[in-house]
Chains A and B, each alone.
Chain A
Amino acid sequence: MDFKLNGQTVSFDGDGEMPLLWFLRDLQGMTGTKFGCGAGLCGACTVHVDGMAARSCQTFMEDVEGMEVTTIEGLASGDTLHALQVAWAENDVPQCGYCQAGQIMQAASLLSENPSPSDQEIEEAMYGNICRCGTYQRIKKAIRDVADGKVKGGAL
C-alpha cells in the first residue's frame, strides 16, 4: 500500500496492524515522533493524518493507505518554521523537549481548525498531551501568541 509522508509517496508491504509510530521511528528512521506510552494516553507520538491530529501509536498502517501523513519533520516549509515552532522558541517552552513535537503537532491541528481558540478550547484541545516537565503555561502562552497574530512563521 502507498501513502504520503511529508509530501513524499512511500510504500509499505508489511503487517497492516503495525502502528504508524513504529513504521516512522524504526523503519523510516524518523525519530521526531516520540514514543511515550504506546496506549494513546500521553500524546507524545502525535502526527497529522489528512491534516487532523492523530496518535501514531494507535493508528495502524492499514488505516493510512492513500492518506497524507505529516510529522514534526514535515511541519516547517524548508527553512521557514511554522508559527508555532517560532512561538515555542520565543517563549522558551521546552525543558527536556521530549513531548514537544507532539504538543506542537496537536496545537497546529487545533489552529488549522480553529484559528482563534478560547483559553478553554486550548485546554480542551491540548488535554491529551502530557508534559512531565510542566511547561503547560508556556504552551498556552505560545498558542495564544500565534492565535493573536503576535508571532508569525519564519526563521529562528
Chain B
Amino acid sequence: MSFDLQNVSRRGALKTLGVASGLVIAAPIVAKGVRAEAMGTAGKLVSTAYLTIAENGDAHIFIHRVEMGQGSRTGLPQVVADELEADWGRLVFEPAFGDRKFGDQNTDGSTSIRRFYDAFRHAGAAARQMLEQAAASHWGVAPSDVEAKNHRIHNKVTGASEDFAAFVKAASKLEVPAADDVKLKSRPQWRYIGKPVRNIYMKDIITGSSQFGQDVRKEGMLFAVAARPPVVGGTLKSYDKEAAMAVQGVVDVVELPALTLPAIFKPLGGVAVLATNTWSAMKGREALNAQFEGGENADYDTSEYEKTLWASIEGKDTTHLKRGDAGAVIAASDDILSADYFVPHQHHMTMEPPAATAVWEGENLKMWVCCQDPQAVQNSVAPFVGKQPPEIYVEATLLGGAFGRKSKPDFAVEAALLARHAGKPVKMVWTREDDVHHGYFHTVSALRVTAAMDGGKVTAWKQKAAYPSIGGTFNPAANGPGSFELGLGLLDLPFSVENLQVDGGDAKAHARIGWLRSVANIQQVFATGSFVDELAHKAGKNTVDMWMDMIGEDRLINPTDDMPDLIPGDEGKSTYGNYGESLERHPFDTARLKAVLRKVADMAGYGRDMPEGKGMGVCVHRSFSSYVACAIEVEVADGGALKIPRAWMAVDCGVAVNPDRVKSQMEGAVVFALSHALHGEISFEKGAVVQSNFDGYPVCRIDEAPHVETAIIASDRVPGGVGEPGVPPVAPALVNAIFAATGKRIRRLPVRDQLMA
C-alpha cells in the first residue's frame, strides 16, 4: 500500500533533539487509486491504517497513540466513529503496537488530536462513503439516495435499511476515496465529536482489570530489579553476587552494559537481580551491596550549580529575538524594574513507576511497555539486540501517568537484554526510588526580566534565561537553551511592546534533562506571568489591564519577523517552532489570548474586594496551539499557612472533541502545576539525586487541591493541544495571588515554607 506521507515540519531546531529527529510525519492519508482490498485481508474494509470494518460490520479502530490519562484513546475513536456513523457499541479497540505505517506515534507534545483529527475524520468518512456507494449499487439507486446512520445504511427511496455488515464485502472492492473526494459531516450532524463520551477503559479501571506496564504477566516470567549508578555516566565497581543469590527466590544476577554518554534513551548500566517475584528481586538487590564509581558528573551539586546559572545570567548574551533596542531604552529610562526568578529541577513522579516486559520466542522479540512511543522503544532496543526496529513487536500498555518520562524507554532496553540472557520472559520493575533517582528531570533555570516603563506603559522588555538544554541528553555540545525551548513561551511573547529582546545564557547539563508536561513553558511563563504582575503593581494597574495593554491590538503574531539572522552555536539562525505546526494552520492570534483572559476574569470575579489575607492572581498563555487563562484564589493565615480554595480556567483549544476530558485535563493541570510550584524540587549532591520517594518529593494531596471551574470557549477552529497547555499559567497565577494576599513576592519555586513566619 502506498501512503502520502506529508512532511509537515522539518525544523532545524528539532535536530538538536537527536533521537526526536527532524522529521515530523503527519498522519498517513491514502493516496488516490488504492483499492481497499489491497490494504488488508480480503472481505474486510480497510479505509486507512486506523480503521478496518470486519465482515460482521464491527469497526476495528487502531488507536496508534497511547493513553496516559489525557484521553486520546477515547477522543480519537469519537472522531472516527462520528464520521463513520458508527454505533459506539460496535467499536473494537485494537492495541497500540508500534508500526511506522501509523505515522508518528510519539504521544507527547499534546499532539494526538491536533495532528490526527483530520486523518481520523478521513478514515471514518472514507469508509462510510464506500459503504454507501456499495449499498447504492446493490439497491440500484443513486448514491445520494442512501444514507449511513448509526451503523446502518438507509435507502431513502424504498425505506429499506441494512446493517453495515451487508455491504462490507462489496465496499472492500471499491477504491478508497482520496482526501479531496471525502465528504466530511458538518458540525450539526456530529454525534460523538463535542460530546462528553465516557473513558473507554472505565469499567476496567474501577474493577481493577486494566493492564498497565507494571501489571503485565507472561507464562514463566521472572521479575527484575536493578542497582544503577547514582551518577549519570558512573560505572559499577563491585557487588556481592553470592549474597544476592542466597536470597530466597533469586534466580540470577546479571550485569547491564555501562552507559556511554550521551545518555539518549540508553540504559544506565549497573547490575540486575532476577527473581521469581518482585519482592525477592528487591531483597536480592539490597544484598548485592553494589558500589559505583562517579564518572564525569560526580561533582554535580545543585546548590553550587545555581551560582553557575546566575553567573551565566550576568555573562554573555546569545540573542534569539530582537525587536527595536530594549537594552538602549532600558539604559536611558528612569522607570525600570528588574526581577530574577529561579525554578529547580522537577520530576514527573508518575503514579506508575516505569516497567517493561520482554519475551523472546527464538529470535523474535516481543515487548509490552508503558511507553509513550512504541516506535521509540523499537528504535532504542534494536541496536542493543542486533535487530532492525520494525522486527521488534512493541505493544504500549496503559500508562499510569507519563508526563514525558515514559517517552524515554531506557527501562525497556534493560528488559530486552535481561530476557535474552535469562531465556525466559522478564518484567523489568522500577521501584519508586529508582524512578526518582534515575529520572529525566525537568531542567534547572535562572531567569531575569528587565523592563522600562513610560507613564505606566511598557516601552522595553528584556528577558534572559539560563538553563541546561534537553539537547544535552542527546548532544554533549548543547550549552544553554535552544531555540526549540525558548520557543515555548519566550520567542512568542505576545507583547506589542516596541522594544523586545530574548536572550539565552550558557549552561551545561550534568544530569539527564528531559521534557516534563509543558516543558520550558514551566519556568519561562513563571517568570513572564510573575513579572507582568510586578509591572502592574508598580504602574498601579490591575494585572488583567496590564496584560491587555501589553498584548495590544488583535493581530496574528509571527515571531520570526524579530529573529536575528545569526545566532552562534544555534545552527546559524534562531527559529520559531510553533509546536511543530505551521503558522497558517495554527496562527498565534492575540484576540483568542485576550478572550480567555477576559473570560477567566469574569468567572473569577477578578477585581472584587477580598478580605485581609485573601488574594487573587491571574495569568494567560498560549501553548501547544491552545490558549489558557488561569485565576487562583488563596488564603494565607497569620503564621503563613496557605490555602487554595478555588481556581478558574478558561481554555480555547479550537474544537473540543471531548469537552468533559478537556475540563478534567484543566483540573489535573492545576493540581499538577501546584504540586511543583508548592513542593517540587529535585536536588543533586555529588552527582546523585537526594530525594527518593513521596516523602522527599511531595505532591499535592486531596486537601491541597482547589475546586477548579473550567470554561471552554466555543470554537470551530482546528483542535489545539489539551494535555499540557493548562500547566504554564498556574504557577504564576499562584504566586501573584500570594502577593495580592500578603505583599510577599515569591520569585523562587517551590513556595514550600517561604510564607512561614
Most buried by A among B210, B429, B433: B210
**B208 partner, pick from A71, A96, A130, beta carbons under 8 A:** A71
CB distance from A98 to the nearest CB of B (A): 3
Contact B432 A38 (CB under 8 A): yes
**A93–chain B nearest beta-carbon distance, Å:** 8
CB of A29 within 8 A of chain B? yes
- Would you call A37 and B702 a contact (CB within 8 A)? no
B708 contacts the other chain (CB 8 A):
yes
Find out whether the CB atom of B672 lies under 8 angstroms from the CB atom of A39: no
Complex contact A41–B693 (CB within 8 A): yes
Of the residues B204, B282, B660, B667, contact of A134 by C-beta under 8 Å: B667
Where chain A touches its partner, the secondary structure class is loop
Which of A27, A33, A38, A88 has its CB near the most chain B CB atoms (within 10 A)?
A38
Task: Tell me if B150 is interfacial: C-beta within 8 Å of chain A.
Answer: no
Contacts of B706 in A (CB 8 A): 137
Q: Mark B686-706, 1 if CB is under 8 A from A, else 0.
A: 000000011100011111011
What are the residues of chain B within 8 A of A137 when measuring CB–CB? 667, 705-708
Say if the beta carbon of B400 comes within 8 Å of chain A.
yes
Q: At the interface with chain A, which of B17-25, B254-262, B349-357, B620-628?
A: B349-357
Q: Cβ of A109 < 8 Å from any Cβ of B? A: no
Interface 1/0s, chain B 382-418, versus A by CB < 8 A? 0000000000000000111111000000000000000
The CA of A139 and the CA of B349, in the complex, are separated in Å by 20
> Is residue A72 within 8 Å, beta carbon to beta carbon, of the partner chain?
yes
Assuming the contacts A34-B400, A41-B694, asked whether A73 and B209 have C-beta atoms less than 8 A apart, the reply is yes
Contacts of B353 in A (CB 8 A): 35-36
In the complex where A25-B278, A31-B215 touch, is A133 in contact with B401 (Cβ < 8 A)?
yes
User: CA separation between A88 and B210, bound complex, in Å?
Assistant: 15
Q: Once the chains are docked, how many angstroms separate the CA of A130 from the CA of B217?
A: 25
Map CB proximity to A onto B194-211 as digits: 1 under 8 Å, 0 otherwise. Answer: 001011011111111111
Q: Which residues from B are CB-within-8-Å of A73?
A: 207-209
B401 near A36 with CB under 8 A, answer no
Q: List the B side residues contacting A98 at CB < 8 Å.
A: 212, 351-352, 400-401
When the two chains form their complex, are residues B207 and A89 in contact, meaning their CB atoms are under 8 A apart?
no
List A contacts of B202 (CB < 8 A). Answer: 88-89, 92, 94, 156
Task: Please measure, in the bound complex, the distance between the C-alpha atom of A76 and the C-alpha atom of B402, giving whole angstroms.
Answer: 29
Mask of B214-228 contacts with A, CB within 8 angstroms, 1/0: 110100000100000
Q: How far is the CB of A147 from chain B (nearest CB, A)?
A: 15
Closest to B668 in A: A134
Instruction: Give the contacting residue for A127; candidates B350, B693, B703; CB below 8 A.
Output: B703
B155 on the A face (CB < 8 A): no
Is B694 touching A22 in the complex (CB atoms < 8 A)? no
Q: Are B214 and A35 in contact (CB under 8 A)?
A: yes
What chain A residues lie within 8 Å of B207 (beta carbons)? 32, 72-73, 75-76, 81, 85
Pick the most buried of A73, A75, A135: most chain B CB atoms within 10 A of its CB: A135
Does A95 sit within 8 A of B, measured CB to CB? Answer: yes
A42 touches B277 (CB 8 A): no
Known A-B contacts A29-B217, A98-B212, A134-B667; the reply to A123 vs B71 at CB < 8 A is no
- Given A38-B432, A89-B203: A33 in contact with B351 (beta carbons within 8 A): no
Residues 654-670 of chain B, each 1 if its beta carbon lies under 8 Å from chain A, else 0: 00000011001101111
Q: Find A129's partner among B403, B432, B702 (CB 8 Å cutoff).
A: B702
Task: Report chain A residues within 8 Å CB of B277.
Answer: 18, 22, 26-27
Q: Do the beta carbons of A136 and B702 come within 8 Å of each other?
A: yes
Query: With an 8 A cutoff between CB atoms, is B88 at the interface?
Result: no
Q: Does A97 contact B (CB under 8 A)?
A: yes
Known: A26-B223, A39-B693, A134-B668. A31 touches B400 (CB 8 A): no
Decide if A95 touches B351 in the complex (CB within 8 Å): no
Residues 67-97 (chain A) with a chain B CB within 8 angstroms: 71-73, 75-76, 81, 85, 88-89, 92, 94-97
Picked from A35, A134, A156, the residue with its CB within 8 Å of the CB of B203 is: A156
Question: In whole angstroms, what is the CA distance A94 to B668 when docked?
Answer: 11
The answer to whether B203 and A132 have CB atoms under 8 Å apart is: no
B398/A97 in contact, CB under 8 A: yes
Which residues of A from 99 to 156 have beta carbons under 8 Å from B?
99-101, 104, 122-123, 126-140, 156
For A99, the chain B residues whose CB sits under 8 A away are: 351, 400
Query: Do residues B351 and A136 form an inter-chain contact, with CB atoms below 8 A?
Result: no
Chain-A contact segment, one of B37-45, B62-70, B447-455: B62-70
- Tell me if B754 is interfacial: C-beta within 8 Å of chain A: no
- CB distance B705 to A134 under 8 Å? yes
Closest to B402 in A: A96
A26 close to B401 (CB less than 8 A):
no
Q: B535-549: contact bitstring with A at CB < 8 Å (1 yes, 0 no)?
A: 000000000000000
Mark each residue of chain B from 362 to 391: 1 if its CB lies under 8 Å from any CB of chain A, else 0: 000000000000000000000000000000
| Contact in complex: A26, B702 (CB < 8 Å) | no
Contact of B278 among A26, A42, A156 (CB under 8 A): A26
**Complex Cα spacing A39 to B403, Å:** 23
Q: Is B431 positioned at the interface, with any CB of A under 8 Å from its CB?
A: yes
Q: Are B198 and A89 in contact (CB under 8 A)?
A: yes
A114 to chain B, nearest CB (A): 16
Q: A51 within 8 Å of B by Cβ? A: no
Known A-B contacts A73-B207, A133-B69; the reply to A97 vs B201 at CB < 8 A is yes
Give A30 to B208 CA distance when docked, in angstroms.
9
Which listed residue (B67, B351, B660) contacts A92, Cβ 8 A? B660
Residues of A close to B660: CB separation below 8 A? 92
B292 adjacent to chain A (CB < 8 Å): no
Instruction: Encode A38-51 as 1/0 by CB contact (under 8 A) with B.
Output: 11011010000000
State whether A92 and B199 are in contact (beta carbons under 8 Å apart), knowing that A97-B400, A130-B694 are contacts in the complex: yes
**With a CB–CB cut-off of 8 A, which chain A residues contact B71?**
95
**Contact assessment for B667 and A138 in the assembled complex, using a CB-CB cutoff below 8 Å:** yes
CB-CB under 8 A for A130 and B69, given A22-B279, A26-B278, A76-B207: no
With a cutoff of 8 Å between Cβ atoms, the chain B residues found around residue A136 in the complex are 671, 700-702, 705
* Alpha-carbon distance between A22 and B693 when the two chains are bound, in angstroms: 19
In whole angstroms, how far apart are the Cα atoms of A107 and B218 in the complex? 32
Checking B206, B279, B400 against A19 with a beta-carbon cut-off of 8 angstroms, the contacting residue is: B279
Is A15 within 8 A of B248, CB to CB? Answer: yes
CA distance A104 to B595 in the complex (A): 39
Residue from A19, A88, A96, A138 in contact with B68 in the complex, judged by beta carbons closer than 8 Å = A96
Q: How far is the CB of B192 from chain A (nearest CB, A)?
A: 15
Q: A34-B352, A38-B432, A73-B208 are in contact. Are A130 and B705 (CB under 8 A)?
A: no
The answer to whether B217 and A97 have CB atoms under 8 Å apart is: no
Question: Could you give 28 example pairs across A and B, Cβ below 8 Å?
Answer: A15-B248, A19-B279, A31-B208, A31-B215, A34-B352, A35-B214, A36-B352, A37-B432, A37-B693, A39-B432, A73-B207, A73-B208, A89-B202, A92-B660, A92-B664, A94-B199, A95-B69, A95-B71, A96-B399, A97-B201, A98-B352, A123-B703, A131-B671, A131-B702, A133-B401, A134-B667, A134-B671, A156-B203
In the complex, besides A97-B210, A156-B203, 14 extra interface pairs with C-beta distance below 8 angstroms are A27-B277, A37-B432, A39-B693, A88-B202, A88-B205, A92-B661, A97-B400, A101-B206, A123-B702, A132-B401, A132-B675, A133-B401, A134-B671, A137-B707
**Which 3 A-B pairs rank lowest in CB-CB distance, beginning with the nearest?**
A32-B208, A134-B671, A98-B400
